[in-house]
Amino acid sequence: MKSKLTQLLERQKNVHVLYSYYELENYLEQVVSFIEDGIQAGEYTILVENDRLYLLIQKELSNRLTKDQMKFLHFVNSLSFYYSSGSYHPPAIATYFTNMVQPYVEKKITFRSWAHVEWSSMEEPLHLIKDFEKIVDEAVNQIEFPLICAYSGERMPDYLKTILLETHPYVLLEDDFIASEQYQSSDVVK
């Protein structure tokens, strides 16, 4: 039986989802299923992930997919992605992302993306995350691709949870998928 998320992605491409995870095992199963479902649907997957978890994901996918299917996976190191300018700077990250997806957009290649957002501490200026998530939400709607933003639930202060629920129209739970009641559609932050 298909998950609610998979069913939605079959009907709608511009889907921006918050995934707040607590157990690594569940996280790995969700990301592997997301990638596998995309590849089965003929979509490329852009995976923004750390090197350590990418090796685990790659190992599991290699047991499920052929070498040709694995070519549909584009890995981006999360540290390089989020700190491409030397610090967490939303405009620089947005530019990095735009440049990364441009070949897919120009060639009209269908893709989806999974971005694991993590820091060594939650001392980052959290207001920047709101700015970035608004930019990303607009990009998801303009380019029309699905994006899962994964955050460790146990490392999120309440203020960040509120920001994320306001900037993601959907929430992926361990066993369910729901619309965010707090979501606030907004214009692009410039």
- CATH number assigned to the domain comprising residue 48: 3.40.50.300
Q: How many domains does the chain have?
A: 1
Asked if residue 3 belongs to a domain, the reply is no
- pLDDT given at position 88: 75
Task: Give dist(CA 95, CA 77) in Å, integer.
Answer: 16
Query: Do residues 47 and 31 touch, judged by C-beta distance below 8 A?
Result: yes
Could you identify the residue written with the tokens 């709607």?
A: 141
Tell me: the pLDDT tens digits for 24-51? 999 999 999 999 999 999 999 999 999 9
Which parts of the chain register pLDDT below 50? 188-190
Beta strands in the chain (DSSP E): 16-21, 44-49, 73-77, 111-117, 147-152, 170-172, 177-179
What is the rounded distance in angstroms from the CA atom of residue 3 to the CA atom of residue 21? 17
Task: Tell whether 74 is covered by a domain.
Answer: yes
Asked whether residue 168 is domain-assigned, the answer is yes
Give the model's pLDDT for residue 31.
96
Joined tokens for residue 149: 């933003």
Q: Would you say residue 48 lies in a domain?
A: yes
Query: Does residue 22 form part of some domain?
Result: yes
Residue 7 in any domain: the answer is no
Residue 140 maps to a domain: yes
Residue 9 domain flag: no
The pTM of this model reads: 0.91
pLDDT of residue 6: 83
User: What's the rounded Cα separation, in Å, for the pair 188 and 126?
Assistant: 18
Which residues constitute the domain of residue 36?
A: 18-179
